[in-house]
């Protein structure tokens, strides 16, 4: 998409365009309200800054649109396509999948939510190491780490929309 197209969209269409990046109303509303943007960099700066204000409840709610690491998104829209590309580097090797399944289960048992990590640019070994490391976090610290990972994902997805 071209930035000029995004700037000219109706508020509803603009919201629909950026929502797959992060399904958080306050973030989507801020990006739509910030138009027109002079360049993509300005949009990304606002997106990153606003993502740093997300509440724990907003982060928790946004996780509903993300599959477990190592699993495919069950949807068929833009968010599902983005997720598929991001997790493309995660090995489908049976041993890796078994370790991810066990790690996901341990994480969900400990924190009562899915493990979220920016998978883009990371291989399975790095993701597994991060999963094991993050299992040692206390719940408050881990929610902050999860929010940071969601922010990274959102900004990368937004950047990709305008690439």
Structural domains in the chain? 3-161 (1.10.3330.10)
Give the tens place of pLDDT for each residue, 3-61: 999 999 999 999 999 999 999 999 999 999 999 999 999 999 999 999 999 999 999 99
Q: How many residues does the chain have?
A: 163
- What's the rounded Cα separation, in Å, for the pair 117 and 130? 8
Does the pLDDT of residue 144 top 90, yes or no? yes
- What's the rounded Cα separation, in Å, for the pair 30 and 18? 11
Q: Alpha helix (H) ranges present in 9-138?
A: 11-18, 25-33, 40-51, 56-62, 78-86, 94-111, 124-134
Q: What percent of the chain has pLDDT over 90?
A: 73
Q: What is the mean pLDDT of the chain?
A: 90
Does the pLDDT of residue 136 top 70, yes or no? yes
Does the pLDDT of residue 100 top 60, yes or no? yes
Give the tens place of pLDDT for each residue, 42-53: 999 999 999 999
Predicted model pTM: 0.88
Does the pLDDT of residue 132 top 60, yes or no? yes
């Amino acid at each position: 998409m071209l930035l000029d197209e995004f700037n000219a969209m109706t508020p509803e269409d603009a919201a629909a365009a950026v929502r797959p990046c992060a399904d958080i109303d306050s973030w989507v509303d801020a990006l739509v309200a910030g138009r027109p943007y002079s360049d993509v960099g300005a949009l990304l700066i606002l997106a990153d800054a606003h993502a740093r204000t997300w509440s724990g409840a907003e982060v928790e709610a946004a996780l509903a649109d993300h599959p477990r690491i190592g699993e495919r998104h069950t949807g068929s829209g833009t968010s599902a396509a983005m997720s598929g590309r991001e997790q493309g580097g995660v090995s489908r090797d049976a041993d890796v999948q078994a370790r991810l399944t066990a790690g996901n289960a341990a994480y969900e048992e400990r924190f009562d939510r899915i493990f979220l990590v920016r998978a883009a640019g990371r291989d399975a070994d790095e993701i597994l190491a991060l999963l094991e490391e993050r299992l040692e976090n206390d719940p408050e610290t881990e929610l902050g780490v999860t929010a940071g990972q969601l922010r990274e994902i959102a900004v990368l997805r937004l950047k990709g929309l305008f690439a």
